[in-house]
Amino acid sequence: MLENPRSPRVRAVAKLTKRSARTETGLYLLEGPQAVREALTYSPEAIVELFSTPTGWEKHPDIRSKAADADIEVEYVTEYVLNAMADTVTPQGLVAVVRQTPTSVKDIFAASPRLVAICEEVRDPGNLGTIIRAADAAGADAVVLTGRTVDPYNPKVVRATTGSLFHLPVSVGAELADVVEKAHAAGLRILAADVKGDDLLRARADGVLAEPTAWLFGNEARGLEDEALARADQVLKLPIFGRAESLNLATAASVCLYESAFAQRAATVA
């Protein structure tokens, strides 16, 4: 059992809360039973180390079973050690070190996707994590991160995805121009979500949302720059029916992705 929270090994795990360490090692941190469960279910080969308190390990027989099936051994640690490793105050007894597995933009569009989320300059970890989760829930085929979008392996992003990071391909560090070019070549229409756009309800009525689509979402504060908007085939905005000044980025992205998911499925049934 690891008992010393100041040991080099514990410190190496704790450093993964910093981007520099994640970039250097190609690893990142998972905390809590839900995240570990999803990793064991969908990407067990990416798990490098698995740590748990004895009590935490006993609480989750399904995780024990999945780890055994994947031939992954758990290393017991004390509560003090687990707290030293984790980014959260309450890591719930389980922490894992996982290998980063981004997907190339080329591979994403070679797979003939019908619905993709492109995040340009999204800076808030909670927003990005929620967009990845919403894209997963809406049945999107991938999420592509461009510009200076926050690192998807940031612990706050990982937590906000609630495991969706393991469910669909995520591309990191692409240039928007290249992404748009490949999306067009794959037959996708680029729809930009921005307050400067046309009413989304009109696009719904025109059948635009049923087409293979890559939604483009921008920065929380500034939205999309004019150069980015110019790359889109159409710019759309969500109508505000109440008195709210605007919608949170992640909420707006969720609505847009679901609008496309509904339209695409309705077209398939018809």
Mapping DSSP onto H, E and C, the string for 255-270 reads: HHHHHHHHHHHHHHHC
Please tell me whether residues 125 and 142 are part of one structural domain: yes
Average pLDDT over residues 30-56: 96
Query: The CATH number of the domain where 57 resides is what?
Result: 3.30.1330.30
Average pLDDT over residues 181-206: 95
- How many angstroms separate the CA atoms of 224 and 127, rounded? 15
Please tell me whether residues 117 and 81 are part of one structural domain: no
| CA proximity to 153, closest of 236, 2, 30 | 30
In one letter, which amino acid is 89? V
- How many angstroms separate the CA atoms of 136 and 123, rounded? 20
Average pLDDT, the chain: 95
In-domain check, residue 157: yes
Residue-range definition of the domain harbouring residue 214: 105-267
pLDDT value at 270 more than 80: no
- How many angstroms separate the CA atoms of 206 and 194, rounded? 19
Residue at a domain's end among 71, 99, 127 = 99
Residue at a domain's end among 99, 131, 148 = 99
- In the numeric block, which tokens belong to residue 168? 């669909």
pTM value?
0.95
- How many angstroms separate the CA atoms of 218 and 117, rounded? 11
Q: Are 218 and 224 in contact (CB under 8 A)?
A: yes
Please tell me whether residues 154 and 64 are part of one structural domain: no
Residue at a domain's end among 52, 81, 99 = 99
